[in-house]
Amino acid sequence: MVGEVTMDLLQPDLMRDIVDNGVIGKNVGLVLEVGVKMIVLVLIGGLCGMLCGVFANLAAQRFGNDLRKDLFSRIMGLSFQQTDKISTGSLVTRLTNDVTQVQNMVMMTVRGFVRNTVMFVGGIFMLYTQSPIFALIAGCGLPFVAVFVVFFLKKSAPMFSVVQKKLDGINNVMQEDVAGARVVKAYVKEEHELKRFDKANDELCTVNLKVQTLLAFMGPCMNIVLNICVILVILVGGFTVKAGGDMTPGRIMAALTYLAQILHGIMFMANIFQTFTRAKASADRIKEVMACPEVLLDGGFFGETETKGKIEFKDVCFAYPNTSGENVLEDVSFTVEPGETLAIIGSTGCGKSTLVNLIPRFYDTTSGEVLVDGINVKDYHKTELRNKIAIVLQKAELYSRPIEANIRWGNDKASPIEIKKAAEIAQADDFICATEYGYYTMVSEGGHSLSGGQKQRISISRAVLKNCEILIFDDSTSALDLKTEAQLYKALNEHCPDVTKIVIAQRIASIKGADRIAVIDKGRIAAFGTHKELIKTSEIYRDIYNSQLKEGGEA
C-alpha cells in the first residue's frame, strides 16, 4: 500500500521535470528518460495496488466470515425468551445485511483509509516542496471541507439505524408471506399482503431517500471548496511566473496534480466516514445480539444417573417473560417413572405444551423444580440434559435434504439399517419406499412435498433414532388416522419398552392406553389417573370423552 502511494506521489514531480527541463528546454533525451521512469513507476504502483486490493479483500472476507459464524453461533444459543423478543426477520437482517455493512467498512478501512491518509499527508508535503504558498492554499480549504463532512455525517448518522429497522420490517413481511403462502392463497389475501409489503417497502424507500438526498449535497459542497483551491493555485502560480519569480509551469502542473491527489483523498475519506457511520449502526445491532446474556446458564452435571428416564415436577409455577406475569402453570406436581407412558389432555391453551417445554429446559420455571433422574434440570449441562430427551412437535420441521438425512438428524452415526428400523417403528417405511428414490428422495423446503401425516412420521422416526431415555410427543400424531396411530404406539411399546413417554393429544382414543393420564385445566392438574379411573372421577375428562363420542369420534 505504501509502495502504491509512493509511486503515485513521485509521478507529478517527474512530470515537472519533463515540462521544465524536457519540453521547455527542448531536451528530447530527458523526456524519454523520465518518461520511461514514469512508466516503470506506474507498473510498480499498479502491482502494489493489486496486491493491496487482494490482501484487503482477503482480510475483509475473513473478518466477515468469522463475524457471521460467531453471530450465527450466538443466535443458535439464544433462549426462546430472547428469540421471542427479537423477531426472526431482524435476526436474518443482522446476520446478512448488517454483517455485510461492517465487512464493507473493514474493506474500505484497510484499503482506502490507510491509503488515502498516506496520500493526504504525502500530498501536503510534496505540495509544500513545490511552493509553501500552495500548501497554505490547500490548508485554508481543509477546515471548510471538514465542516461539511462533520455536518452531513452527523445529520445522517441517526437515519442509518432507522434504515436497518425498516429493512427488518421488509424481511419480517417477506418471511411471513413466504412461509404462509398457502394460507395467503387460500384466503385470497394476495392483494392485502401486497399492500402490506408496499407499505414496508415505501417506508424503507422514504428513509433511504432522506439519507441519500442529504449525503448528495456533501459532494458538491466539497467540490466547490476544492475547485476554489485549484483556481487560487493557478492564479498565484500564474502571477508568480509573470512576476519573474522562481515559479515554473512544471511546478504549477505538479502542484495541481498534488492538489487533485489531496482532494481526491479527502473525498474518499468522506465516503469512508459515511460507510463507517452506516456500519456503526449495523455494528450496534450485531453487538445487541452478541451481548445478550445467557438466560439459561449451564449447570455442571455430566455423567451417569441411578435412574434412566424418571421425571418429577415439584410445585412448578411458570409465567412467560415479558407478559402480564400471570402464571400459565400453577402448582404442578407429578412423577413419571422410567418406562412409563404419561398422556396429557386438556383444552386448547391450558398449558400442555408449556409443561413439556420445561423438561428439556427451553424455559426455566418461575418457581418449583423439574427433575430428570433425580437431578434438577438447572443443574445439568444443557447438552447432557437434551441428549436424554427427544421431542416431536406438532408442526414437523423438515429441511431441504433427502428423507434419510432428515431422519439421521436424530443420530449422525446411525447405520442405514437403524434408520430403516426407526422409520418402521414410526410407520413411515412404507410410504418412504413408495417414493421414487426411497430414503434418498429430496424433501422440498418446509416439507411441502409431503402430507401432514408423512411429515409427522418422519419427525417421529428422527426422535426414535435418537434412542434416548425420554420421548415427548407434543400433539405430534394429530395428522395420523387412528389405525396408523394405534400401530405406532404398539410398535413404540414393543421396541422402546424402557423409554419414558409423554404424549400430548386432543383425542382420548389416542391416549386411553397410557399408564396414566393427566388432565390439565387452566394451568393446573385437574385430575390424574388411568382412563377407567378418570371416566369415573373427573368431570372434565368425562365431558371431553362425551363430546368426542357425540362428534362421532372413537373414544
Tens-place pLDDT, residues 142-158: 888 888 888 887 888 78
Question: What domain range includes position 449?
Answer: 311-550
Dist CA 456 CA 223 (whole Å): 65
359 and 409 assigned to the same domain: yes
Q: What is the pLDDT, as a whole number, of residue 69?
A: 92
Q: How many domains does the chain have?
A: 2
Q: What rounded mean pLDDT belongs to the chain?
A: 84
Q: Strands across the sheet with 389-392, in order?
A: 389-392, 470-474, 500-504, 341-346, 516-521, 524-529
Answer yes or no: is pLDDT of 87 > 80: no
For residue 25, pLDDT over 70 is answered with: no
441 plus 482 within the same structural domain? yes
Tell me, what's the pLDDT at 550? 62
Sign of CA dihedral 341, 347, 353, 359: negative
Task: With CA atoms as reference, report the closest residue to 289 among 105, 553, 70, 475.
Answer: 70
Position 356 pLDDT exceeds 90: yes
Considering the domain architecture, whether residues 355 and 245 belong to the same structural domain is answered as no
pLDDT at 122: 82
Q: pLDDT tens-digit profile of 475-533? A: 888 888 888 988 999 999 899 899 999 999 888 888 888 999 999 998 899 999 999 99
Same domain, 283 and 320: no
User: How far apart, in Å, are the Cα atoms of 77 and each of 70, 236, 292, 335, 363?
Assistant: 11, 66, 10, 30, 13
**Which helix or strand (DSSP H or E) is residue 99 part of?**
helix 99-108
Minimum mean pLDDT among 87-91, 287-291, 328-332: which range?
Answer: 87-91
Please indicate, yes or no, if residue 8 is contained in any of the structural domains: yes
At residue 112, φ and ψ (nearest 5 deg) are -95, -45
Place of cell 510534496: 126
Q: In this model, does residue 460 exceed pLDDT 90?
A: yes
Residues 60 and 150 in one domain: yes
Whether residue 520 is contained in a domain is answered as yes
The reply to whether 555 falls in a domain is no
What are 246-269's pLDDT values in tens digits? 677 777 788 888 888 887 777 777
Residue that is last in its domain, among 290, 325, 357: 290
DSSP 429-484: HHHHHTSTTGGGPBPPGGGTTS-HHHHHHHHHHHHHHH--SEEEEESTTTTS-HHH
- Provide φ and ψ at 376, rounded to 5°: -60, 135
Same structural domain for residues 14 and 154?
yes
| CB contact set of 135 (below 8 Å; sequence gap of 6+) | 124, 127, 128
Same structural domain, 397 and 432: yes
pLDDT of residue 464: 93
Q: Considering only 3-7, 180-184, 232-236, which range has the smallest mean pLDDT?
A: 3-7
Banded pLDDT at 59 (limits 50, 70, 90): confident
Residues 199 and 63 in one domain: yes
- Residue 502 to residue 385: CA distance in whole angstroms: 16
Residue 296 lies in a domain: no
Q: Of 290, 323, 357, at which residue does a domain stop?
A: 290
CATH of the domain at 332: 3.40.50.300
Amino acid at 251: R
Domain for residue 156, yes or no? yes
Query: Which of 134-138, 190-194, 292-296, 519-523 has the weakest average pLDDT?
Result: 292-296
Percent of the chain whose predicted confidence (pLDDT) is above 90? 25
Same domain (yes/no): 276, 326: no
pTM confidence score: 0.69
Residues 278 and 319 placed together within one structural domain of the fold: no
Task: For residue 263, tell me if it sits in a domain.
Answer: yes
Query: Do 523 and 454 sit in the same domain of this protein?
Result: yes
User: Does 258 reside within a domain?
Assistant: yes
Q: pLDDT-derived band of residue 1, with 50, 70 and 90 as boundaries?
A: low
CA 360 to mean position of chain CA atoms: 24
Q: Which amino acid is at 14?
A: L
Q: What is the mean pLDDT of residues 107-119?
A: 78
User: Which one of 15-19, 59-63, 287-291, 515-519 scores highest in mean pLDDT?
Assistant: 515-519
Q: What is the pLDDT of residue 554?
A: 53
Check residue 416 and give its pLDDT.
Answer: 92
Mean pLDDT of the region 441-445? 86
Q: Are residues 216 and 89 located together in one domain of the fold? A: yes
pLDDT at 371 over 80: yes
| Domain endpoint, select from 290, 324, 345 | 290
CATH code for the domain of 209: 1.20.1560.10
Residue 174 inside a domain? The answer is: yes
